[in-house]
Amino acid sequence: MLTCPICLQALSAVDNGVACPANHRFDRARQGYLNLLPVQHKNSRDPGDNAAMVEARRRFLDGGHYAPLAKRLAELAAGYAPARWLDIGCGEGYYTTQIADALPRAEGYALDISREAIKRGCKRAPQLEWLVASMARVPLSDASCQLLASVFSPLDWQEARRLLAPGGGLLRMGPTRDHLLELRGKLYDQVRDYDDQKHLELIPPGMQLAHSETLTFNLQLTSNEARADLLAMTPHGWRASAERRAAVIAEPLEVTVAIRYDWIEKL
């Protein structure tokens, strides 16, 4: 299943880590994860979300604000009943863990480029294989997964197609044009619209959209910490001015949560 990120040969368990026939070796960290991101594949010294961003997301999600989103994601994943699955861009593992709970008999993998995120994910669901790795070079073999989960995460469509077994699918969860509309209205003079279906134009040959649905609800953010954490875990935390961010944090806020789920099958 696991493949070497350097030579692409199969990895096997050795001592406290894994190695390939070419003797490229990767030790398992004390937290339990494998770091399969060689230095030559990094775009920076410490890529991905930093500790502050990861902690903000952890606090917000553990506060239950997006619990209905995770519940529906897990229900959908359970309905497809994969034998093996991967969460691509798993972050600190909030959604990953709920998928794992819904698929107790399946073999699960979780991948993110952020070491800080993976460190925290290991604590949530130690039964999974947690990987620090690039989403553009996923260290898993061809056609090895029946389900890929992509939650608020960028995606390499060619990698997704390579990883999926025929009949398997990508379960994508992402925002619609109405998501956090009130927050965006407070942060920017002009709220930029976008096409909810634009990502469908990127689906490669050999894959097709088989199911789509939207979940919408209103969310009351009554605490300063929740509003600050929401800003910190979205691009708005650095795009908007400091003055407007401070104004959002200072006052209670009701926002629309509007998320789209797509199941995109490999033919």
4 annotated as ligand-binding = yes
> What is the rounded distance in angstroms from the CA atom of residue 38 to the CA atom of residue 15?
20
Within 8 A by CB and 6+ apart from 197, the residues are none
More confident residue, 250 or 53: 250
Whether 40 shows a pLDDT value over 60: the answer reads no
Q: What is the pLDDT of residues 81-122, one digit of tens each?
A: 999 999 999 999 999 999 999 999 999 999 999 999 999 999
Whether 45 shows a pLDDT value over 60: the answer reads no
Does this model's pTM top 0.85? My answer is yes
pLDDT given for residue 208 in this prediction: 97
Domains (range + CATH), the chain: 12-175+195-214+260-266 (3.40.50.150)
Q: What is the pLDDT of residues 239-262, one digit of tens each?
A: 888 899 999 999 999 999 999 999
Q: Which of 182, 196, 197 has the alpha carbon at shortest distance from 236?
A: 182
Using DSSP, state whether 196 is helix, strand or coil: coil
Q: Span 201-222, mean pLDDT?
A: 97
Confidence of residue 48 (pLDDT cuts 50, 70, 90): low
> Cα dist. 258→51, 177, 261 in Å?
27, 8, 10
- Pairing, β 84-88 against β 107-112: parallel
Whether 130 shows a pLDDT value over 60: the answer reads yes
Q: What is the pLDDT of residues 134-188, one digit of tens each?
A: 998 999 999 999 999 999 998 999 999 999 999 999 999 999 999 999 999 999 9
pLDDT given for residue 239 in this prediction: 82
Q: Span 6-24, mean pLDDT?
A: 94
pLDDT given for residue 46 in this prediction: 57
Which residues sit opposite 255 in a β-bridge?
A: 219
Backbone angles phi, psi at 172, to 5 degrees: -100, 135
167 annotated as ligand-binding = no
DSSP label of 119: H
- Dihedral angle of Cα 91, 92, 95, 97, to the nearest 10 degrees: 130
236 annotated as ligand-binding = no
> What is the rounded distance in angstroms from the CA atom of residue 29 to the CA atom of residue 79?
33
What burial class does residue 178 get, using C-beta atoms within 10 Å of its C-beta: 0-12 exposed, 13-18 middle, 19+ buried? middle
Confidence of residue 217 (pLDDT cuts 50, 70, 90): very high
Whether 42 shows a pLDDT value over 60: the answer reads no
pLDDT given for residue 209 in this prediction: 98
Share of residues in the chain with pLDDT > 90 (%): 84
182 annotated as ligand-binding = no
Q: What is the pLDDT of residues 58-74, one digit of tens each?
A: 999 999 999 999 999 99
Within 8 A by CB and 6+ apart from 217, the residues are 68, 256, 257
Backbone angles phi, psi at 45, to 5 degrees: -65, -40
7 annotated as ligand-binding = yes
Confidence of residue 3 (pLDDT cuts 50, 70, 90): very high
Q: Span 202-217, mean pLDDT?
A: 97
pLDDT given for residue 43 in this prediction: 56
